[in-house]
Structure 1
Amino acid sequence: MLLALGALLVTAALVLAVLAVGRPTTPRGVDRSIELLDAVTTTPRKARAGQDERPFAERVLAPLQHRALVVGRRLTGAGSAERLRRRLDLAGNPRDWNADRVVSVKVLGAAALLAVGAALALTLGTGFVPTVLLVVGGPVLGFFLPDLYLYQAAYERTERLQRELPDAIDLLTISVESGLSFDAACQQVSRHTEGPLSAEFSRMLREMQIGQSRTAALRALAERTNVPDVRTFVTAMVQADAFGIPTAQVLRVQANEMRVRRRQRAEEKAQQVPVKITFPLVFFILPCLFIAVLGPAAITLMDNF
């Protein structure tokens, strides 16, 4: 009996030990409270850490740009977006800008130059009129500075398009006469040349690849530029495509015409040189020459008298 009772107790102890080990432990009241406090205190830290890990441009510059955009839209009006898109197209979309970014940059530039003008006025202690000029002229300059930049970029791009067009048409003519199609010739121009004209041909080819017709793509190319030679070339190619005129023949005529126009522009600029040099010659070069030539004679005359 004693042996049987001992074996039963040992078995019961083993069963209880197995159950105690296999059963998941539940946290006590204190442990549960500590876990809740840790969860409450670490969650805001993680959230703050996630916010701090965002880049500076996303945390600060993006909201600032959005607020500046709202103010700029109120100042410029609803129709300014289309005019800005037109200027950006003429300038070649520098730095991948869009109309909203230009508007926000105008407002931020006005605010920055207002702060700079006020700081200069307070630091230098200027009078009433210089202070007004600094405080009023700074924001005006900052607001219109992006427009001046776009105007200058559009002017330089127009000049480059006008210079590069004859060479590009020559390459198109050679490619078409060697057996390539017009689209393949445009691809050769975009691949083997650099500059705004190459970028425009590449964009035209991409528009044709997404389903736009050749006529529409060519007309869009002409709309993105304000160069008369480009418009003449596009008009000739559209008419050749519409009436079935051989492309090589049209390109040959356009190449000869563009070379003649380039020579005429060079001769025109050469004829303008004597007129343009008159002002610096009269006001800067001749006075220095008179001082160098007549100065010693004047000094000698003064010594003699």
Structure 2
Amino acid sequence: MELLLGAILIFVALFIVFAAIGGLSPERSGVSRSLEVLEAMTGSPEELTKEADKPFTERVLNPLLDRLQRFGRRITGADQAERIRGQLDRAGNPKGWTVDRVSSGKILGTFVGAGLAAYVILLAGPPWPISVLIAAVCLVLGFYAPNIYLYNTAEKRNEQILKDLPDALDLLTISVEAGLGFDAALQQVARNTGGPLAGELTRALQEMQIGRSRSDALRGLGERSTVPDLKSFTSAMVQADAVGIPVAQVLRVQSNEMRTKRRQRAEEKAAQVPVKIMVPVILFILPCLMIVVMGPGILSMIEAFSDR
């Protein structure tokens, strides 16, 4: 009797277990659900399948960026927008970078900085003054990260413009003295040179072609850059155009001045080399030299005194 009761209880327990996991159902729930999903995907309208087949960037990232752009447009004033546009011009208008993108990038960088600060604080557990300092630094860096990138890009671009400007002025002077007009000479320089200076000259030519005056185009060329030599060149050309001075004479003076300034910059950097090299010499080379020269003598002295 006890054996029969135990067998019945075991059978009931097995029945409950199989019923719970779906072993007694005609088809398992997991397989049936998968089949239902496949049937829904294959039998769904074409609009739904197109929406599901879109990449992750179009479904998630682009709407998120649009919301951030709208929010950034609200908190960014008109003067701030003009300032960002000036930074973009000085950086050469990188591909995909607009005023709205920079504003949304500042907001996104703030959220990223907040997350990084929370992660560092939770991981290290510093005291609250240091925690506040870490949070403030991360938030400020995240907010100004797009501005820092644009500033670095503009500085590298200005260095390249400063390097290419004397050669471009020499070619411009030769072209004008050979009989070409100023606009044709600018086009010749833009065609035969490369880098950011050629791009700026091409933009100035395009502005003149769409109806902007030469003085305004040259003035805009100087305002889009912070290179003093380029600003002085554009100012001289605008004054020459207004007064009526021969362009070839002004270009000859400007090219000589640019070559002189380039030679002076090279001499200045050469004079800075001894001062800059003093720190690594004192910190790294002299200690190694002292070890090599005095090391054997010190070891011999230690050995002689240890024998006594």
TM-score range, shorter chain: 0.7 to 0.9
1:224 is matched with 224
Shift in CA distance, 142/173, structure 1 to aligned 2, threshold 3 Å: same
- Spell out, residue by residue over 1:194-232, the C-alpha distance to the aligned partner (whole angstroms, 9 max, x if none): 101000000001101111000100000000011111111
Q: Which has the larger radius of gyration?
A: 1
Q: Report the CA distance between 1:131 and its aligned residue.
A: 5.7
2:108 is matched with 108
State, as a whole percentage, how many aligned pairs show the same letter.
55
Shift in CA distance, 299/145, structure 1 to aligned 2, threshold 3 Å: farther
- Find out whether 1:255 has 2:258 as its counterpart: no
> What secondary structure does 1:100 align onto?
helix
> What secondary structure does 2:211 align onto?
coil
How far apart in 1 are the matches of 2:86 and 2:68? 21
> What secondary structure does 1:207 align onto?
helix
Q: Report the CA distance between 1:288 and its aligned residue.
A: 2.6
- Find out whether 1:176 has 2:176 as its counterpart: yes
2:185 is matched with 185
> What secondary structure does 2:245 align onto?
coil
- Find out whether 1:270 has 2:278 as its counterpart: no
Q: Report the CA distance between 1:178 and its aligned residue.
A: 1.5
**Residues 32-43 of structure 1: matches in 2 within 5 Å?**
none
Q: Report the CA distance between 1:73 and its aligned residue.
A: 4.8
Structure 1 unaligned segments of length 5 or more: list them.
1-40
Structure 2 unaligned segments of length 5 or more: list them.
1-40
Q: Is the 8 A contact 1:106 1:144 kept in 2?
A: yes
1:45 is matched with 45
Shift in CA distance, 71/281, structure 1 to aligned 2, threshold 3 Å: farther
AA aligned to 2:81 is A
2:242 is matched with 242
How far apart in 1 are the matches of 2:73 and 2:282? 49
How far apart in 2 are the matches of 1:140 and 1:293? 51
Mean Cα deviation higher: 152-161 or 241-250: 241-250
Q: Report the CA distance between 1:284 and its aligned residue.
A: 2.7
- Spell out, residue by residue over 1:154-176, the C-alpha distance to the aligned partner (whole angstroms, 9 max, x if none): 11111111110110011111111
- Spell out, residue by residue over 1:208-262, the C-alpha distance to the aligned partner (whole angstroms, 9 max, x if none): 1111000100000000011111111111111221222221221111111111111
- Spell out, residue by residue over 1:115-152, the C-alpha distance to the aligned partner (whole angstroms, 9 max, x if none): 34434554x45444676565554333222222221111
How far apart in 2 are the matches of 1:213 and 1:165? 23
> What secondary structure does 1:94 align onto?
coil
Shift in CA distance, 70/276, structure 1 to aligned 2, threshold 3 Å: same
- Find out whether 1:87 has 2:87 as its counterpart: yes
How far apart in 1 are the matches of 2:208 and 2:173? 20
How far apart in 2 are the matches of 1:227 and 1:114? 36
How far apart in 1 are the matches of 2:174 and 2:252? 9
Mean Cα deviation higher: 152-161 or 91-100: 91-100
Q: Is the 8 A contact 1:118 1:134 kept in 2?
A: no
Q: Report the CA distance between 1:184 and its aligned residue.
A: 0.7
Aligned positions, number: 264
How far apart in 1 are the matches of 2:71 and 2:304? 74
How far apart in 2 are the matches of 1:243 and 1:134? 58
How far apart in 2 are the matches of 1:189 and 1:285? 47
2:27 is matched with none
State the TM-score, normalized to the length of structure 2. 0.77
RMSD: 2.6
- Find out whether 1:163 has 2:173 as its counterpart: no
How far apart in 2 are the matches of 1:71 and 1:139? 18
1:13 is matched with none
AA aligned to 1:154 is A
AA aligned to 1:107 is I
